[in-house]
Copies of this chain bind each other. A is one copy, B any other.
Amino acid sequence: MDRINLASDYEEGAHPEIIKKLAETNMLQSTGYGTDEFCESARNNIRKACECPEAAVHFLVGGTQANATVIDALLSSYQGVVSAESGHINVHEAGAIELGGHKVMAVPQHNGKIRASDVRKVCEIYANDPSREHTVMPGMVYISQPTEFGTLYSLKELTELSTVCREFGIPLYADGARLAYALASKDNDVTLQDLARLCDVFYIGGTKCGALFGEAVVIPDPELIPHFFSIIKQHGALLAKGRILGIQFDVLFTEDLYLNIGKTAIESAELLKKTFREKGYKLAFENPTNQTFVTVENSVLEEISKYAGTDLWERPDPEHSTVRFATSWATDMNKITELAEKLPVIRN
């Protein structure tokens, strides 16, 4: 078999329909900065999919950029953003949030998720602290769906988070870098409409979900962030040829492509997980989406590496490695079946 690279879910280009549409429209002329007809069509398709006809939809280039721009737009200088300690903004954005002037207020993660009760605690501690004006005010909550660990917030959990945020008057923001893999998961009960109803801002990930690049920031109530266009520009996040993003999201939101694009990724991840379990591997943590985290002896990893590229997640001890297998919209199920057969059996 050919070696398959599963180190990440952004190893390939874009869904073929996107490439086709980019090629077809290439020599058409259109205005810049997202004011073109493709962006307009994409925005409308997204509004429909979210059942949110008034929403503002902005196309940004990447995830860290979207997070930094949205968070800076939502917070006052004296406010911080509550996040899981394992949240992407807390560990993998090279300090982009702090560069924007804001503290990431880390709370414990439970399988990558935060609990409404922990958000409540942070807000209550602040509210009851006699010297609270000397501390950072919790000004919003950041989650991701799926989380860094590939887990999913249930509708119940998301509703609880939304409720506590609204009780304390702070916005809830969801990073959907891998949202298509949540939407395609059998365990998922949170729809796009739920996100639009329960979050104050969220973004629909393109980069990892079939686009060359791009993330669609959705603001159900556009009055929440005045002058967001200028804020995007000021953060270096405004694409001149905005239509390149519009075309991609227009394709992704035509005929429910986005809702289905993650299916192969989920199926192949399920096969991998099932195989790992059957062959005696230890999953580092369980999740119902496209990432599989396995802890193996280094010698086993060496053997696996002949067949598949993986991403080193961490080294729990010098003899073991936790690695990630990320399937994607582009994964070939046949190759995963082949890989599953090759995976060595673990004897305990």
Contacts and interface: CB of A to CB of B under 8 A. Distances in A.
A95 B97 CA distance: 12
Contacts of A99: 77, 101, 234-235
B98 A78 contact: no
B61 A233 contact: no
B19 A26 contact: yes
A27 B241 contact: no
Contacts of A101: 95, 98-101
- Each complex incorporates copies of this chain amounting to 4
Interface SS majority for chain A: loop
Interface string A237-277: 11111011000000000000000000000000000000000
A136 interface: yes
Interface stretch (A113-121, A156-164, A205-213): A205-213
A220 B312 CA distance: 33
A56 interface: no
A302 to B, nearest CB: 16
Contacts of A14: 26
9 contacts: A5-B29, A22-B212, A23-B23, A62-B238, A63-B240, A78-B234, A98-B102, A207-B240, A236-B237
